[in-house]
Chains A and B, each alone.
Chain A
Amino acid sequence: MYQYDEYDQRIVAERTKQFQGQVERRLSGEIKELEFKPIRLQNGLYMQLHAYMLRVAIPYGTLSAKQLHMLAHIARKYDKSYGHFTTRQNIQYNWPALEDVPKILEDLASVEMHAIQTSGNCIRNITSDHFAGVAPDELEDPRPWGELMRQWSTFHPEFAALPRKFKIAISATPGLDRAAVQFHDIGVRLVENALGERGFEILAGGGMGRTPHLGPVIGQFVAKQDLLSYLEAILRVYNTYGRRDNIFKARIKILVHALGVEEFRARVEEEWAFIKDGPLKLTQAEIDRVLAQFAPPAYETLPPANALLDSFRLGKDRDLARFVTNNVARHKQPGYAAVIISLKEKDTPPGDMTDHQMDRMAELSERFGFGEIRVTHTQNLVLPDVKAAAVPALFAELQKLGLASANANKVTDIIACPGLDYCALANARSIPIALEIMQRFEDIDYQNDLGEINVKISGCINACGHHHVGHIGILGIDKQGEEFYQLMLGGSAGHDASIGQILGRAFPRDQIVGAVEKVLTRYLEIRSSLEERLIDVVRRVGLAPFKEALFGPPPARTAQELAHADH
């Protein structure tokens, strides 16, 4: 992974010092909260319901063991001994004190980490595929390009006061998408054209929130060395023309939609023409420098993993079998596997991890890999380079830590935002809903029978829980000060992206999980085979059977209506 050089290190150190001064000026009263707020946001510091919240950046979801040890240390020393992994591959601490934050940033800087631009109206963390670099289905590792975009966007002086936040994701898997690129302000796909050349397909204007959109293609094929200048052109058009009159209409998706794709693209390409051959063109030296930092580790030459993994799947240890079936993914290097570490344990808020677990996970990453850990946007972790033969031993260790749930992509592998328990923006709680679902469906055999079910829960319209793209999506709303929940079906964040559709009236707190259960019961009744997933059934039959399961059959049509329908 990328190692800071003296420049990267100095930038982070100077930012830490700058923020230290700003905190002092806030505490002394020299700057007011109104002025301090955008400053602290650009340093990742929110004010939430009960405390500040610090969001630490984990660029493209990649961590070293040393970094994970430091995250554990920070949880222990400055917080309540746990952290929360987010849908943008970052980690959040819910209880830091303001005057400790500069010290936390110093500790982070000592392991090449920071909280820069994880909030605020600026370019946020660049996210990517959690299997980047090891997936057999990728063209090449997208993370070096993520790092190049990170450096280009960090303290970009022109784009620090955008109309709104700006999120970029990159993936490199033709026909597949584990980074939800279509739902980002800019989505970058590493592609190969008909001539066998590699370049980028650039999408712009995707997003969730109040008005979910799939981002259309703006740059069909951008040469690798033109990546940064193309992005700069898009950001400049957005900075100039993005709406600033209404916070709910300020994302780039609104601008793309208002101008239309053709006009938006024309403005981008007009600006790009001025700058594409300027100094922003990436040099081969820089591309090589960063690529070299992501060179594959010293893999051993091993026989292919499949036979071994199959033997575990069919073996006598049923717990191991389930784990290998659900949580172990194929690896491009023969004999290796990528293992999903589920942070979705019964009675635990999804995505939370204690300091103790973080320290042990860091150790496991060195014992069962090359000291690297990934964070998924589904709030789980990945050990990316596990020898297939070592999977049983790893599983045994994970069981001791309560990190061995074999539920990847099953109904209890829930994405849930912090919700009204923590977040000042929320309308309703999401974690208790997730916990109740996890309890209701805890039987692992039933979970396997249900198959792939992505449940995604957001506590408000900001959609940090990605509810629009859940197979089952749940949105918390406020009805006269009380918590209600909208249920939607049929969303997907993958390459076959779709936005979920609402199933009917919102449910009160004590009925929402029962509603989910009715939906799943109906799914089992009408699926055409064991392999037909819930999302496939919804796409085949639509919402009607599910609405019926929830609300009863629709009212009988009158003879007149039936006669009408025949025309």
Chain B
Amino acid sequence: MPKPPPQWIVTANFTADGAVAYFRADQSFSTLLSEAAVFVTKDAAEAAVQIALANEHLVADPYLTEVAVAPQGLDALTARERIRSQGPTVRVRRPDPITASR
């Protein structure tokens, strides 16, 4: 079966808190991969990167990355982008053991 044509999203980090940011169709940014605008040409994605670069008070270090469009939504294609979209795969806060006194 032929490989589907590549599609891209534009992602960055929010300047305020470094959270993962995805470029939306309305040129705003979302923390959710599912809301990312999908570009079918690399040029269109590059143009979005330029828009992001002009908004450094909002986001930093924008770049484009490939995605797969599946029926249930967008799929990141690398371990790195998967983890960016879902958060750390290890528990973030270590639970405190029950203590007799505090």
A and B in direct contact, judged by CB atoms within 8 A: yes
Residue numbers of A with Cβ under 8 A of B are 26-29, 32-33, 47-52, 80-82, 95, 97-99, 345, 347-349, 352-354, 356-357, 400-402, 420-422, 426-429, 431-432, 435, 478, 481-483
**B83 interface hit (Cβ, 8 Å):** yes
A-B contact pairs, 11 of them (CB 8 A): A29-B56, A49-B83, A50-B19, A98-B17, A349-B90, A400-B97, A402-B96, A421-B89, A427-B80, A435-B90, A482-B78
For A99, the chain B residues whose CB sits under 8 A away are 16
Also in contact, A357 and B96, with CB within 8 A (given A50-B88, A431-B90): yes
In the bound complex, residues from chain B placing their C-beta under 8 Å from that of A427 are 80
Q: CA separation between A429 and B78, bound complex, in Å?
A: 12
A98→B94 contact, CB < 8 A: no
Are B19's CB and A432's CB within 8 A?
A: no
Q: For A33, A99, A427, which residue has the most chain B Cβ atoms within 10 angstroms?
A: A33
Decide: B84 and A52 in contact? CB cutoff 8 A.
no
Residue contact A354 to B96, C-beta cutoff 8 Å: yes
CA–CA, A52 to B15, complex, Å? 9
List of A residues within 8 angstroms of B80 by Cβ: 49, 420, 426-427, 478, 481
- Does the CB pair B84–A98 fall under 8 Å? no
Q: Is the CB of A347 within 8 A of B88?
A: no
A-contacting residues, B30-81, CB 8 Å: 56-57, 60-61, 77-80
Which residues from A are CB-within-8-Å of B60? 33, 47
B: residues with CB less than 8 A from A are 13, 15-20, 56-57, 60-61, 77-80, 83-84, 87-94, 96-97, 99-100
Whether the pair B78, A47 counts as a contact (CB closer than 8 A) is no
A80/B18 contact (C-beta < 8 A), A33-B60, A401-B99 known? no
Instruction: State whether A422 and B18 are in contact (beta carbons under 8 Å apart), knowing that A33-B60, A354-B93, A481-B78 are contacts in the complex.
Output: no
B18: which of A51, A348, A481 is its contact (CB, 8 Å)? A51
B21 → chain A closest CB, angstroms: 11
Q: Are B90 and A421 in contact (CB under 8 A)?
A: yes
Q: A356-B96, A421-B88 are in contact. Are A97 and B61 (CB under 8 A)?
A: no
A432-B96 contact given A47-B60, A97-B17, CB 8 Å threshold: no
Question: When chains A and B are docked, how far (Å) is the Cα of A426 from the Cα of B89?
Answer: 14
- Which among A26, A80, A353, A435 is the interface contact of B92 at CB below 8 angstroms? A80
A32 near B56 (CB under 8 angstroms)?
A: yes
Shortest CB-to-CB span from B36 to chain A, Å, is: 16
Given the contacts A47-B60, A49-B20, A98-B17, A402 and B97 also touching, CB distance less than 8 Å:
yes
The 6 nearest A-B residue pairs measured at CB? A481-B78, A51-B18, A52-B18, A421-B88, A402-B97, A97-B17
Inter-chain contact A483/B94, CB cutoff 8 Å: no
Q: Which residues of chain A are near B94, meaning CB under 8 Å?
A: 82, 345, 348-349, 352-354
Chain A residues with CB under 8 Å of B13's CB are 47
CA distance in complex: A98, B13 (Å): 12
Return the chain A residue nearest B97 by Cβ.
A402
A51→B19 contact, CB < 8 A: yes
C-alpha spacing A401/B92, complex, angstroms: 18
Please report the number of residue pairs spanning A and B whose Cβ atoms sit closer than 8 angstroms.
95
Complex-state Cα separation, A386 to B93, whole angstroms: 29
CB distance from B98 to the nearest CB of A (A): 9
Closest CB-CB distance, B18 to chain A, in whole Å? Answer: 4
User: What residues on A are CB-neighbors of B77 within 8 Å?
Assistant: 481
- A29 & B57 in contact (Cβ 8 Å cutoff): yes
A429 in contact with B89 (CB, 8 Å):
yes
A-B contact sample (9 more), CB < 8 A, given A49-B84, A428-B79: A27-B57, A49-B83, A80-B92, A82-B93, A82-B94, A98-B18, A345-B94, A347-B91, A427-B80
Q: How far is the CA of A196 from the CA of B70 in the complex (A)?
A: 74
Q: Which residues of A contact B99 (CB under 8 A)?
A: 400-401
- On whether the beta carbons of A400 and B100 are closer than 8 Å, the reply is yes
- In the bound complex, how far is the Cα of B87 from the Cα of A393, in angstroms? 40
Residues of A within 8 A of B84 (CB): 49-50
Name the distance in Å between A94's Cβ and chain B's nearest Cβ.
8
Look across to chain B and name the residue whose beta carbon is closest to the beta carbon of A402. Answer: B97
What's the Cα separation between A567 and B18 when bound, in Å?
A: 64
- Inside 8 A of A82's CB, which chain B residues have their CB? 92-94
Q: Which residues of B contact A402 (CB under 8 A)?
A: 96-97
A432 and B97 contact, Cβ closer than 8 Å, known pairs A29-B57, A47-B60, A482-B79? no
Residues of B within 8 A of A356 (CB): 96
Of A52, A428, A432, the contact of B17 (CB 8 Å cutoff): A52
Query: Bound complex: CA of A432 vs CA of B88, how far in Å?
Result: 10
Residues of chain B within 8 A of A352, CB atoms compared:
94
Complex Cα spacing A97 to B97, Å: 28
How many angstroms from the CA of A233 to the CA of B99 in the assembled complex? 54
**B56 to chain A: which residues have CB within 8 Å?**
29, 32-33
Q: Which residues of A contact B61 (CB under 8 A)?
A: 33, 47
The one of B17, B89, B91 in contact with A51, judged by C-beta atoms closer than 8 angstroms, is B17
CA distance A345 to B87 in the complex (A): 22
Give the CA-CA distance A81 to B92 in the complex, in Å.
9
Tell me which residues across on chain A come within 8 A of B88, comparing CB atoms: 50, 421-422
CA distance A127 to B8 in the complex (A): 44
In the bound complex, how far is the Cα of B19 from the Cα of A44, in angstroms? 18
B12 → A minimal CB distance (Å): 10
Q: How many angstroms between the C-alpha atoms of A470 and B87 in the bound complex? A: 29
